[in-house]
Structure 1
Amino acid sequence: MSLPNVNGTARLIEDPQLRYSASGSAVVTVRLAFNSRKKDQSGQWVDDATCFLDGKVFGQAAENLAESVARGLEVVVSGRLKTESWEQDGAKRSKTVLLVDSIGPALRYATAKVSKASGGGGQGGGQRGGSGGGRQGGAPAEDPWAQSSAQGGQAGGWGGGSGGYSDEAPF
């Protein structure tokens, strides 16, 4: 049986907390607040119930997240709910956490400048190991979308040169 999925928009209520496991793997904990709004009888928007969850991100994605977001930012998040259990002072405890698969800034009321992370070795965020090809911040050499006008004279990887565009893909 698989864990239940959660997709939604949340707000970070604390800065991400970056830690490293005993094996050296990065782990980030983010405190998330999911809330809903609804219209009351007078037609005004009011805040409704709020759900607070701790999100956990692992590997290179954890390091990327710790550098990219801060308290108060609205994020779009996707992940799986899991119950963590432990014993504290002889009492059994548990809480539900979100194992984050994907997270990023919500761009409804913000802007973001995205840059490709260096390194990572393919551990998280959908990155493939060795894809940098020695080019800093660039796309892999086999990426047809990364062609510049200096490579093959195509504008943005499309078209037949001199700035024109065609309906034919560059591959």
Structure 2
Amino acid sequence: MSDIINPTAGGDSRPAGKALTGHTGSGTAPETRGRTSIADSVVEKIAGMATREVPGIHSLGSGMARTLGAVTDKVPGGKPSVSRGVKVEVGERQAAVDLDVVVEYGVAIVDIAGEVRNSVITAVERMTGLEVVEVNITVDDVHLPDEEDEEEGESRVQ
């Protein structure tokens, strides 16, 4: 690697293994030129999509967030929010994720929580390079087979 210091070359007295910072130019590796910042909203979308891909997850968001989301989704031009029910904290190298989910009736909540954690950690770490330090899951509701979805139900107001 060109950014590792060799104490025997050129008389540099810094210990080997310390990365140089601030170097630019044609002699440095492209991945070390500049800084990449990832917005919280990007990680929220990735975590939201990874959660929805897990079988047994009915929806995301607490009761009020789902209700408000269903109304906003019906407004002309409104789009469903992929990040509804997802909150993240993103640092320089790490991220923490909080999820509010609704599960399908009959699924083992402990098992599905493990699957969601695995899915979210894998997706976020693969796509962003951030280390996911925790994924906290709150199960807000259980969707029963005979319940109508708020999103699919007919609105009382027209």
Q: Which has the higher contact order (CA 8 A, sep 6+)?
A: 2
For the criterion TM > 0.5, the same-fold answer is no
Alignment TM class, shorter chain as reference: under 0.3
TM-score, normalising length: structure 2: 0.21
